[in-house]
Structure 1
Amino acid sequence: MLQSNLSRQAQIQEDTYFRVMRLLEDNPDHTQRELAEILGVSVGALNYCLKALIERGWVKMQNFSSSKNKFGYVYVLTPRGLSEKAVLAGRFLKRKLVEYELLKIEIEAVQSEARDSGIRIGKS
């Protein structure tokens, strides 16, 4: 199993940072409400995350008059943010691959138990 120096809570926070940064890179003029909806978090939680990313120097807020955001701001990844996003992407991918492998093992075990019990399970 993948050993990590990060606590589960820190991993969740890191994954959230990565997801937000990934979205911002592709959609810098999304409103906080739109970003929150896409990510499935509250606007308050997204605002907290954005503030943390800005404090770390990974994201900056720029005034942009043609933005669809009513306040005219866009969120832009800084050069440092782009570097950190790459690091976070690598760790995110490692964690997800481990989760995937563990899920495959669990699914195979449950399918085997179901077959042994005479339960027929089709692939969906």
Structure 2
Amino acid sequence: MTARTTTYSGTDFYCDVAIPDPGALDVVHEDELVLAYHHTRPFWQQHIVVVPKRHISSFTTAAVADEADLRALLSVVQRVAREVELEHGAAAVLTNLGTYQDSKHLHVHVYSGPRR
């Protein structure tokens, strides 16, 4: 089964599924620090997730030691958001915190269009 069809019930989809097997995803960007791909269960018409490959629990728990990963993450978010905006006329950038964060790994949603 690929990441698209697997029912996942853990707490860190990114460390457990996405990062170890990016071949099962529709990847937009991948380098040594960051993975960006089309969401496996999109909430919006265009929905891309950008995630640091090294585990960082949340935006609010990020520390000085995470600076290189955060800089790389934000650079990819900016590029992906620019591309979505150019192609679709608008883009939004969102991250969830606390109980809003289903997967306990920092990730950023870049999206556009109506909610599905």
TM-score, structure 1 normalization: 0.29
Larger helix share, 1 or 2:
1
Structure with the higher strand share, 1 or 2? 2
Per the normalisation by structure 2, the TM-score is 0.30
> Which of structures 1 and 2 has the bigger CA Rg?
1
| Structure with greater contact order relative to length (CA < 8 Å, sep ≥ 6) | 2
